[in-house]
Structure 1
Amino acid sequence: MTTATSSTRRPGRLPAEVTSFVGRRREIADVRQMLTRSRMVTLTGPGGVGKTRLASRVAADVQRAFPDGVWLVELAALQNPELLVQTVIDTLEIQDRTSRSPIRVLVDHLQGRRALLILDNCEHLLGETAMLAGELLRAAPDLRILATSRQALGIVGEQTMGVPPMPLPDSGRQDPADVLAGADAVQLFTDRAVAVLPGFTLNDANRGVVERIVRRLDGIPLGIELAAVRLRVLSIEQLNDRLDDRFRLLSAGSRTVMPRHQTLRALIDWSHTLCTEQERLLWARASVFADGLDLDAAEAVCAGDGIDRDEIIDLVAGLVDKSVFTREEQAGGVRYRLLETIRQYGLDRLRESGDEDRLRGRHRDYYRDLAVHAQEEWFGPDQVTWFERLRSEHGNLRTALDFCFATPGEHAQALIMTTALRYYWIAAGFLREGRTWVERGLASSQAAPDDVRALALCMLTRLAILQNDFAAAESGLKESRVLAERLGDGSIIAQVRYVSGLAALFQGRLPEALKLLAEATYDWYGEIGDEMGVVNSMMYLAIAHSFLGDSDTAVTLFEECLRRCEARSENWFTSYAKCVYGLEVWRQGDPARAIELEHESIRLKEPFNDGLGTALCVEILAWIAAGEDDCERAALLLGALGPMWRSVGGSLFHYLRAFHEDCERRARDGLGARKFDSIMAKGAGLDLRQAVAVALGEKAPVDETSGTAVAESPLTPRELETARLVAQGLTNKEIAAALVISRRTAEGHIEHIMNKLGFKSRTQIAVYIGQLDRALDGDGASTGEV
């Protein structure tokens, strides 16, 4: 395929390893064994001992055993427990446009899926994480959870493993260098030393010094890495001497072995003292960033009061050299991150200085301004760049909003910020989170100015409509209409007219929708020169004309909408305009042009990972196929659509459902029920990237691990076993007896099978198993081609 990565990557999200992974063979084996015995495993230990790296490496090693993905959920930067479930949803890339509770969405998504969830850095949300893990494990029997925390979560069935420091050389022995190199701690130090000093080698001359260094560091990985970086400026002997001096001072008067956390603190203290005064200042100020930062953010938030703006770049370079900042390459440029232990150290220094509130205020101001600027630039050639930037800053946006709600007198700023992000919430599929923030702001006891409140109500209404929550939408509309009339502000009146028309359209009140959307397009957005508002409203106005049978006007409006978008080199509105325009073009008898429009729309949606919009395009392509009597292609696409709609937690809009029903009837009548079910089953077996490839008329991508284009079954081994018994004609009672399980459990397996495959009958399961077996035998293998 030529499309972007969102539709071609395998399920799951694991961080790329920036540095090589060293040692831990025994620990990896132990954790893997524990995961076979228990569905909940927690790695415990102090900061810096390597819990996250160990969990990530284990996950990478076992990911083939989890066809529904291995996902790392990073919780270190999350301070608001209310966003815990939403953070997991975001990590799993679940796009849900309903008004269901987040926990319901997450549970429904994971039920029947064989996946591994890594909950990383749980200690500050211990109770909430324990409750979430317990609920997920009860609801999703094929789910496994691997957590990292400084203490156990304490839930039923949890197995814990304390992650030890890296193994040290045997004490009292004078092993040669090649033997000493086998110790994990020595191997890590050597590896990191070579990274900063390419000519470094472990030999018989320096082996004794290296052994003393790693022993002094207690084998703590973070401590070893912080020490090794000093070889840029120190010899190995000088490094050892300075460690001796620092730890002798720290433990003076004590006859006990130094606690490991004290060792790590000493190492970070040493890194701190080796920084210049300005680098220490930047370190402390940068700790307010929850999800890393780029150079622009560092300059805007951290400069002043001892740091000139033009000095930031050199200070950042210095902190990268000292391994305080980690440099990460991203599509939009370079970002810098602080390991959580190092960030917390900096935050402690910031609090001690009494400057935390001021820096958090500057951080909020920066991200509020970023949100406003993104809104102003959204309708233009840099739209995708802005979207990607906001996506990378999601954690910082949350932190800024949390500051607003935690600070008296700042709630109105939260409304301004979250309202400015309205297109981001929609494009990224974060309808629920955007709605949560705006509802929290509107419910605040500190009343916002009327214009701010009116715009926030319009945004709330828009999000509720997109979730088909029309009761909440109407409530917001009532108050926003009153405020709009009182203020007489054209931009607010335009938005009220637009969302009122949108609600009428989605509920099938077409004449009312036509009137309101026309007023919004021409009388208000057009009059005030809001080009983005004109295009947004005009697109839905065209749909209203189309469904009222005024095709000529609809075509004129669609073409005008696309012309305005093209003039601004815009992607998001263009993709939706082409999608719905394709439907109108097909209805007018030009299927070739309609297919071309749907293909263009799908490709435009790629950078946004727009699952809902892609599903809508595939729907229309299925309808076109049925209309052209290509019933096999229609059935294949209809089969693929079941998992696609479920993956975004949405469904086809009410005013389009008749097309789907007609398509299904045509395809079933044209093929016959048995063949229709067979091809539907084949479509349901396609993963997202294969379904998109079929929709685009391209060859399905080859699976990287198997080397074939046959989609792996989404069913777990137990579900496949159950499905084969269904295919043999066994009853639920007979299946339960054959598998030595309860009848209720057997019924649950069958329900999960049907939900995963989008089936409604046992016959469809039997057809699916026959198709799958033929594919595995190489007889009529499913390639994803039509």
Structure 2
Amino acid sequence: MDNAADKAAINLRGREARFGSFRLLPSRQQLLCGDEVLRLGGRAFDVLRVLVENAGEVVEKQALMTSAWPNTYVEECNLRTAVAAVRRVLNTWGSKGDYLETVPGRGYRFIAPVSIMDGKPRRSLPSPLSRIIGRDHAVGALAAELRTGRFLTIVGAGGIGKTTVAVSAARLAIEQRQFYSASLVDLAHLRDPKMVLSAIRSGLGFATTAGDDLSEIRALLADRRHLIVLDSCEPFVAEVSAAVRVILSGAPSSVVLATSREPLRAAGERIWRLDPLTVPPPYAAINARSALSYSAVELFCERATANSASFRLTDDAVRHVAEICRKLDGLPLAIELAAGRLDTLEVAELAAELTDYFRLHMPGRNTGLPRHRSLQTTLDWSYETLSDAEKVLLRRMSVFCGACSYDALKAVVGGDGLDPLAIHSLMASLAAKSLAIGAGELSASGHRLLDTTRAYALQRLEQSGEAETIKERHARYFEQLVAATAASVGGRSTVQWSAFCAQTIDQVRVALDWATARPTAAHLAWRLAISALPMWATLGLGDECFAQIARIGPLPAS
């Protein structure tokens, strides 16, 4: 009969064995239940170590005695006493159930599932390669939340910096000794939802395992104060939610900090919405010094200096920098990509070149995550997680410049495969997935797309072949809305009318751009321009009014 102890199935040197609520640390000659050190004699400990190293295998009596009493002759009764001591401790501190099995005439077998991990605390959190800007408050507040919350999810648009904030908050929590250890689990590379559990196991530091289910992970964590950072959960929301629920129910001292473009919708989840960096408002009177109080400008300047030795934020350059930051919606990823173009462009040229296509395809660093190589790939990542109906709504919604009301959405994007009655719930879903911003309930001002998201959605709309139909609907809707609203106020200047003009003028401009460029829509362009005359007058945009009418040209014959 082969000697199982000689096979050394598991090497525990420098590692830690986990079974049930127990932790076996051979390097420290300790058996722990949670963080409680249990009393177990040296010989009994050696017997337990050999049995755990050969979990599932029969270890013969002589092999056990040789390992526990090297170079010493002992009677078999000594082995029985040591095994009894092991059983007594395990049954006293552990859950009900056998850990050791006696094999008559041969020896003993350890029958509980065993998981092996590195004995040192896991702090597998990457260090930042550059200074983190504009996130001090978020990082500090999140670290404080981790003291009491057990399941937090950072939610925000792609490229907004969720991973950076999560890892920074986790590192701060470790420094503050809130946790014994921390692990980062990146789910972005997964394509199969069945691999979620394996990715979590790997991130937790499993070296060897006797099983492959959630009970093993729960046994590994037991009562240890451990922080699990789950990054990029959005492709597998249901699978991650289920895994987190079971892990936390069996590991009462552990905490999960997740990042996702949408909430995981799990019991006990706290949502932390991450906002873009601050940008100077349009028409703000700023200079080089005051502009640096906006975190988006500060980030752009730091990254620009790293990419171009000649870059300086002067009072002349500040308006171009502010324009760039606004066009990029204060998204850190987009700002870093734009700053990287200053190796070949001047800041004024960069501001002028930020067309929709250039904005989406600015290349990033080769060392960046694949989904962060450009805004196009970042938004592709989000788009592919949508349902077919959500994709239709997102791309059709791109015809709106600014916020759009529920009534406008139904009139412009409903029909042709998109149920108008479903638009409200679909819109709420896009907002939850960080692809639209606005109030939780659609109000008069409604929801809107970030400019970068709108540029991407417009591209998708053109590819769909339905762009002309949706843009014509948009122009007709606002021609009728502006005419009806102007008639209702009867030429009187009111607060409501002024607010309507300010909210609607960009929609009129977009509609006129489309209609003016198409000879077949000349009548529509003229009707829209005439309807908008009171708007231009209210906003003091007489020069724009004359320029728009001149672009339309003569009114064609009926």
Normalised-by-shorter TM-score class: 0.3 to 0.5
Higher helix share: 1
Structure number with larger C-alpha Rg = 2
TM-score (norm 2): 0.45
